Amino acid sequence: MDGLLLVNKTPGMTSHDVVSRVRRILQTREVGHSGTLDPLASGLMVLLIGEATKLSAFVTEGDKAYQVGLKLGITTDTLDITGQVLTEKKVECSDEQLKSEANKIQGEMILPIPMYSAKKVDGKKLYEYAREGEVIEQPSKSMTFWNVEPVQIGKEVQFQLACSKGSFIRSWVQLLGEKLGCGAAMSSLVRTKSHRFNLTDALTLEHLEVLPKSDQVKMLIPLDQALNGVKSLRIKGQDAILMRNGQISHQLRIQLISKFNPDTDEIIQILPEKRGQILALIGLEKGVGFKIKRVFRYDTEAARSVE
């Protein structure tokens, strides 16, 4: 079982909970994920199964999209409704003012990272500092937001938006509350898109659990479809044999020189004759030349039994 699995996470579960349960369902330890979701959040998690775990650094690079719920008039220490309330104010903004201010919070900006997050400072997670009451300078980072659109305005407030990798939706909510003058805390969060993958294509853990083994395998996105937009070369024969042994053949090196653009390409994927697999990922290192970043190995007997 090698590929990507799209799961619709329910609120209340940690990302680790999801991974642990999928390990039990699929009966494999080789399960990872490409982006943590807080327990409060729900929606799309892209899980990496088997040899797909080697793609982690590349699958997580994509942009993401969310639908976020807001509670206006309060601020909390965690920036969401699970935290301790710090301030309460009357909400006096109009619906039009709310939409107008939200629309302004788009583009690239430097925002503070929530203190209750897993971001590390000096080898220690921010939430560990916060829980221990240790005061440190709150770090900031560049975050980019776009496609901000109201979904529901009124007693319940919800927006949909897209953001760059590593952006914190709670930081966006906090800034909106400051602009409105009443404060705001995140009340719900649904990830609707990650990289090129959509929540509409995900399945729940309950659904996955009742599927026959053969159908579970069919739900996996093949490895050669995981890195959309990354250039590829398909090889066979002696070129493939050498690659499986961690060597780049002379003929393949010639093809790499022709196809790889050092200004735009970080890696290129090497594909075998067999569809659904990746043989290797190759990058270009200054002063070294082409270097194999990852080599993928498959249980061919297991693959034949599935077919």
Work out the percent of the chain whose per-residue pLDDT is above 90.
74
Considering the entire predicted model, what is its pTM? 0.87
For residue 88, what are the contacts with CB-CB under 8 A and spacing of at least 6? Answer: 73, 74, 183
Task: Write out pLDDT tens, residues 164-182.
Answer: 988 999 999 999 999 999 9
**Residues 167 and 277 placed together within one structural domain of the fold:** no
**Residues 277 and 210 placed together within one structural domain of the fold:** no
Supply the residues annotated as catalytic. 38
**What domain count does the chain have?**
3
Do residues 41 and 191 lie in contact, with contact meaning Cβ atoms separated by under 8 Å? Answer: yes
**Residues 117 and 17 placed together within one structural domain of the fold:** no
Side chain identity at 29, as an amino acid letter? R
Do residues 68 and 189 lie in contact, with contact meaning Cβ atoms separated by under 8 Å? Answer: yes
**Residues 108 and 184 placed together within one structural domain of the fold:** yes
Q: How far apart, in whole angstroms, are the C-alpha atoms of residue 100 and residue 103?
A: 5
Strand partners, 76: 85
**Residues 58 and 71 placed together within one structural domain of the fold:** no
CATH, residue 241: 2.30.130
pLDDT number for residue 303? 39
Q: How far apart, in whole angstroms, are the C-alpha atoms of residue 126 and residue 186?
A: 19
pLDDT number for residue 275? 87
Residue 75 in any domain: the answer is yes
Residue 236 in any domain: the answer is yes
CATH, residue 138: 3.30.2350.10
Distances (CA, A) of 185 to 86, 168, 188, 280: 11, 13, 9, 44
How confident is residue 300, by pLDDT bands cut at 50, 70 and 90?
Answer: low
Structural domain range at position 290: 229-306
Task: Write out pLDDT tens, residues 95-143.
Answer: 999 999 999 999 999 999 999 888 888 888 888 898 988 888 899 999 9
**Residues 96 and 155 placed together within one structural domain of the fold:** yes
**Residues 24 and 83 placed together within one structural domain of the fold:** no
Q: How far apart, in whole angstroms, are the C-alpha atoms of residue 301 and residue 28?
A: 17
Q: From the centroid of its chain, how far is CA 252?
A: 32
What is the rounded average pLDDT for all residues in the chain?
A: 91
